Amino acid sequence: MFFRNLVWHPVLVICLLVIQRGFCVPLDKIHTRTSVEIQAQAVTDLIGRLLPGRANEFDVKVEPGLPGEENGYFQIEKVSGNATVFVRGSTGVMAAWGFHYYLTQFCHCQVSWDTDQLNLPAVLPDVSVRITSLDKLRYYQNTCTVSYSFAWFQWPRWEREIDWMAMNGINLPLAFTGQEIIWQRVYLGLGLVQADLDEHFSGPAFFAWQRMGNFRGWGGPLSDNWHQATLALQHKILERMRAFGMIPVLPAFAGHVPRAMERVYPNTSYTYLTPWVTFEDQYCCPLFVQPTEPLFTEIGTRFIQEMIAEFGTDHVYNCDVFNEVPPTQSDPDFVSSVGASVYSAMATTDPDAIWLMQGWLFKSEAAYWTPELSKALLTSVPQGRMLVLDLQAEINPQYIRLESFYGQPFVFCLLHNFGGTLGLNGAIPTISDRVIDARNFPNSTMVGTGLTMEGINQNYIVYDKMLEMGWRNQAPDLNQWYDEYTVRRYGVDSSAIKSAWRILQTSVYNDTSGRSFHGQYLLTDRPALFKFPFIWYNSRDVILAWDSFIASALTEPMLSEAPNFRHDVIDVTRQSMSEIFSQLYGRLLVTYCDKNVTALGEVARHMIDLLQDLDNLLQTGPKFLLGKWISDAKSWGVTEGEILQYEWNARNQITLWGPRGEILDYATKQWAGVVADYYKPRWEVFIRELEITIEENRRFNSTAYQSMVFNAVEKPFTFSTKIYPVVETGE
Ligand SMILES: *[C@@H]1O[C@H](CO)[C@@H](O)[C@H](O)[C@H]1NC(C)=O
Ligand SMILES: *[C@@H]1O[C@H](CO)[C@@H](O)[C@H](O)[C@H]1NC(C)=O
Ligand SMILES: *[C@@H]1O[C@H](CO)[C@@H](O)[C@H](O)[C@H]1NC(C)=O
Ligand SMILES: *[C@@H]1O[C@H](CO)[C@@H](O)[C@H](O)[C@H]1NC(C)=O
Ligand SMILES: *[C@@H]1O[C@H](CO)[C@@H](O)[C@H](O)[C@H]1NC(C)=O
Ligand SMILES: *[C@@H]1O[C@H](CO)[C@@H](O)[C@H](O)[C@H]1NC(C)=O
């Protein structure tokens, strides 16, 4: 008779109210500890950075919400005759979100990852609106985003990113910078020596996978300069996130340890994980301490203690024990004891700990993670002490198959992007419906929406759509939504550009295939015979859209002045050239089958010219430059050796991805510099080889060709130190 003895505590009342939809109980531990004054000041400062001349027109206060607004609210008020816009929110994030809502929905502005359109009217529009957040949480980042996009961010870029987060209502971001020095302290404290760590830590472009236990050492080691700089950076990041009232998510121990642990702790039972992808022994397979071993708890506890001592905590910890590496046994009791041990390593030190888990394993290793085993893992931790990210819910939601994660709260996440590749794609019409379905699922435990893209700075429209689902409870009219998007993005109301977008809307952005899109195209793949890439649209539509973009600049000259328009024209041109390249490739194959060297040479010339044109085009856009990526990497180097190491890390990640092309061209980038010095020479080698095979009347030897292209182009590119422009050139 539990209820009879219950004291009616206010939190409990809220709980019982909230339990109608969504989860509650111990998630009340997730709340900011920052004072309302500091939060309001953080938002005022943000407005000052974004609108330097006009910040004094905004008055920000952080005030608690009314009953029924437990998920948070924002309110924007402005009356005619009074110049001040009053921005109110239950937290700094909510106020910043409200400010952004006003900018986008009333002032028709856009703030994106990298370019803003902030043509505010001289007199700001009147408004009176109060919006309640539909869920408690808005989550941000994949554990891979830190490597694919944030690897070289220094503080100014982080500051901007955190501003962007706040303006999009993100209140639960990962904060993974600077954790290696904490690991180093823990392992040295456990008796390892520096050399053990030097063979364990990967380089900065590959942290994500080393942290998840996928490999070790690749791209490393790390210098003390690196550790000290990232430590200072993480302090700044956390301070700013907390100032906005965000809950930064910190890492926790998942069982992967340096191999040297076996030397120092020989009496512990370890597992050698199977190689991830095709990494060789030198880099693969760190040791895995079984979570049921006392040493697991020892390391996990020490890590959390050391980290909290350095950074403080907001009680949410990410830990992915079985990411792309399922357990060795299929026994529910075993899985359950692993879950309990992982959680206890957190909770021993922090009794309020909440374990945030990427739900990728349920999708990626679905064959292993049957409902029975999934349930064993999900229920191994008290309800509400685990928070699951349904990582690719826009295509492959797991909450349905796993009965809303057997009662654990979850976040509906949009993954969309792999490897930070460029390439126009998305399933925009279904995003809203899927989010709404998840909220309305019977006994849904959904508590938030999130973005879990592997890389940013691409397909801005897809993310705008998803981010709005934090406050939209109905799908917007799609045509109208697209039209408004163009006005916000360019600051120009033009029917011509709306028509151009209509073509993208019905083609590249209406992917109904249900497939994950990995962003590789023929021109970015290692050349080979008889490749038939999958696309769900008619490539002719992309070229029509390209025409339409160019035509709209002629009808509406103001468009050409808009930075986002200039960016999108390059992007749509880039995409069109990629489509044309694929058509040329088809013709190349025909001439090859005809064994007509003359005809093959003619098509080949077109292909190579097109690649050079593409490189020239990309040089005109500030967001399409290899030079920027490399110079950002080198900016971290203090010594000559570090500068070389970081440049090589940066180049390897976007090309070979591993010593021998283990994940070749996965994080491919259609950037100026990469096209001219990596894709183009690769195609030249391929075409040369085709010509020779025709002339010598033999079969194309793909093994010999692959090793030739690796040695002639791919590997040298990763070790080159050629300098590329860091700013755009040409028109
Ligand atoms: C604008 O409105 C606020 C709040 O009602 C008030 O305090 C302020 O004096 C007004 N300013 C002007 C110029 O009317
Ligand atoms: C490991 O176990 C053996 C046998 O029980 C014992 O002699 C040895 O001291 C232990 N080693 C360590 C490092 O604990
Ligand atoms: C929802 O939960 C209630 C109460 O526990 C239960 O009776 C009902 O069967 C559940 N509905 C579904 C569809 O699981
Ligand atoms: C998207 O494609 C589906 C299936 O072909 C079609 O029914 C739908 O009308 C399309 N939507 C848009 C916006 O083009
Ligand atoms: C080879 O191609 C060239 C150029 O397209 C063409 O003129 C010639 O007739 C072709 N040769 C044969 C044998 O088909
Ligand atoms: C293809 O090239 C590889 C490596 O150079 C060689 O070992 C192999 O014998 C060649 N195959 C054929 C069929 O010539």
Q: Determine how β-strand 354-358 pairs with β-strand 386-390.
A: parallel
* 8 A C-beta contact, residue 369 and residue 326: yes
| Closest C-alpha among 564, 453, 416, 457 to residue 161 | 457
> Whose Cα sits closest to atom 13 in ligand 4?
506
**pLDDT value for 486:** 98
In this structure, the residues whose C-beta lies within 6 A of any atom of ligand 3 are 442-443
> Whose Cα sits closest to atom 13 in ligand 1?
82
Distance of CA 444 from the midpoint of ligand 3 (Å): 10
Distance of CA 133 from the midpoint of ligand 1 (Å): 28
In this structure, the residues whose C-beta lies within 6 A of any atom of ligand 4 are 429, 478, 505-506, 510, 512
Which ligand sits nearest to residue 706's alpha carbon? 6
Q: What is the pLDDT of residues 355-369, one digit of tens each?
A: 999 999 999 899 999
Report which ligand 2 atom has the smallest distance to the Cα of 267.
1
Q: Could you tell me where the beta strands, DSSP code E, fall in 573-688?
A: none
Regarding the beta carbon of 703 and ligand 6, being less than 6 Å apart is answered: yes
Distance of CA 384 from the midpoint of ligand 3 (Å): 18
Distance of CA 102 from the midpoint of ligand 1 (Å): 19
Q: What is the pLDDT of residues 142-158, one digit of tens each?
A: 999 999 999 999 999 99
Regarding the beta carbon of 599 and ligand 5, being less than 6 Å apart is answered: yes
Distance of CA 701 from the midpoint of ligand 5 (Å): 25
**pLDDT value for 77:** 98
Distance of CA 702 from the midpoint of ligand 6 (Å): 8
Distance of CA 691 from the midpoint of ligand 6 (Å): 17
| Closest C-alpha among 355, 358, 291 to residue 324 | 358
Regarding the beta carbon of 84 and ligand 1, being less than 6 Å apart is answered: yes
> Whose Cα sits closest to atom 11 in ligand 1?
82
Regarding the beta carbon of 598 and ligand 5, being less than 6 Å apart is answered: yes
CA distance 714 to 682: 8
CA distance 153 to 645: 16
Ligand 3 pocket mutation, candidates 21, 443, 444, 445, criterion most atoms within 8 A of CB = 443
Regarding the beta carbon of 82 and ligand 1, being less than 6 Å apart is answered: yes
Report which ligand 4 atom has the smallest distance to the Cα of 478.
13
What are the extents of the domains in the chain? 32-132, 137-476, 511-719
Count of all residues that appear for the chain in the document: 731
Which ligand sits nearest to residue 593's alpha carbon? 5
Distance of CA 82 from the midpoint of ligand 1 (Å): 6
**pLDDT value for 25:** 52
* 8 A C-beta contact, residue 379 and residue 336: yes
Distance of CA 649 from the midpoint of ligand 1 (Å): 56
> Whose Cα sits closest to atom 14 in ligand 6?
701
Report which ligand 1 atom has the smallest distance to the Cα of 84.
1
* 8 A C-beta contact, residue 692 and residue 594: no
* 8 A C-beta contact, residue 700 and residue 689: yes
Q: State the virtual CA torsion across 590, 591, 595, 596 in degrees, nearest 10.
A: 160
Report which ligand 1 atom has the smallest distance to the Cα of 81.
14
Which ligand sits nearest to residue 504's alpha carbon? 4
Ligand 2 pocket mutation, candidates 267, 269, 270, criterion most atoms within 8 A of CB = 267
Sequence-ordered alpha helix ranges (H) in 267-370? 294-311, 332-347, 360-364
Q: What is the pLDDT of residues 635-648, one digit of tens each?
A: 999 999 999 999 99
- Its pTM stands at 0.95
**pLDDT value for 26:** 66
The residue ranges of the chain whose pLDDT is under 70 are: 1-26
Report which ligand 3 atom has the smallest distance to the Cα of 403.
14
Regarding the beta carbon of 698 and ligand 6, being less than 6 Å apart is answered: no
**pLDDT value for 5:** 35
Which ligand sits nearest to residue 501's alpha carbon? 4
The pair of structure tokens assigned to 556 is 């509406």
Would you say domain 511-719 falls under CATH 1.20.120.670? yes
CA distance 642 to 648: 10
**Exposed, middle or buried, 326 (CB in 10 Å: 0-12/13-18/19+)?**
middle
Regarding the beta carbon of 694 and ligand 5, being less than 6 Å apart is answered: no
Beta bridge partners of 117: 110
CATH class of the domain defined by 137-476 = alpha beta
The pair of structure tokens assigned to 197 is 């760590």
* 8 A C-beta contact, residue 630 and residue 647: yes
Architecture, CATH, for domain 32-132: 2-Layer Sandwich (3.30)
SS3 256: strand
**pLDDT value for 1:** 30
Which ligand sits nearest to residue 403's alpha carbon? 3
**pLDDT value for 323:** 74
